[in-house]
Amino acid sequence: MKRLVLGTRASPLALAQVELTRRALLAAFPEMEVAVETFVTRGDRKLDLNLLQKGDGGGKGLFTRELEEALLDGRIDVAVHSLKDLPGHNPPGLAIPAVLQRAPTGDMLIARQSASFEHLHQGAVVGTSSIRRARQIRWLRPDIRIVEWRGNVQTRLRKLGESQEVDAIVLAEAGLERLGFDCSGPELKHADWVFRLSSLAGWLVPAIGQGAVALQAVADNAPVNAVLAGVNHQETLLCVRAERALQRLLSGDCSIPVGARTRLSGAVLEMEALLFGDEGMAPRRAKASGQDPERVAAEIFEGLQRD
């Protein structure tokens, strides 16, 4: 192929991810022309949707449908997604033949004063739009109050600096790093504010697909899929195959309160997962390992069904 058209959301993080994809493609195929088309999704338009609730706000494809329609219509060749935004099931005719190398999968606590999660004051208010994060935080610290906190990364940080509504917010480490923020120290600087920064990797289990960039294409488009094979990171693909298989078994919705942590040790996949049921109840946990991603996911699913 001489020209490839990438589709993406127009948020700063989405544009950073499509730039990573463009650079990877040009490194593998220096003579190729790589163009970018931007889209505004329903999730970008409907800022009044409450993503902490099931139903309309947490519906499937909230941030992906417009890109997938463009793929099926032939307007773009590849849709570049944050994998954690994707439902477990691809629309008929579409596939994810490639992913970029995974970034750190942890979450970060960004606070006004407290240096760590355990030092948040009694009754602290934490902002997030993730059901998974909200349920894990309330389980670990029932005293903490969760409020809906939406917008792109820069918007959330600006709101944290300007508003007195919350004491802290939670953001993905991968997104912060891709936008150029330094997550290695105790502070995060943004505009006129300096926040306290600490890792939640030892507290929260990450989302399915967190830290991975998915390259989605028409399943039977052999020329495009051959190009994508040239930038695919196989270790990451094996890990997210297991996570997405579990997601499908759990109904396929990317808004369910489930966390998964997967790594490849030699040829063996090692996976652990956490699933919340009714509010106030402790989560169910399961671990499994093996060489087949779908079989590992099936064992995890069975483990999560046990009392």
Q: Are β-strands 78-82 and 213-218 bridged in parallel, bridged antiparallel, or unpaired?
A: antiparallel
Q: Which of 177, 197, 13 is nearest to 103 (CA)?
A: 177
- Which candidate in 48, 56, 73, 85 is catalytic? 85
- Token look-up 């993730």 returns 130
Report the C-alpha gap between 135 and 28 in whole angstroms: 42
DSSP string for 184-219: SSSEEEETTEEEEEEE-TTT-PPPTTTT-EEEEEET
Known catalytic residue at 85: yes
How large is the angle between the packed helices 12-28 and 153-162, nearest 10 degrees?
A: 150
**Helix or strand (DSSP H, E) at 258:** strand 258-265
- Active-site positions? 85
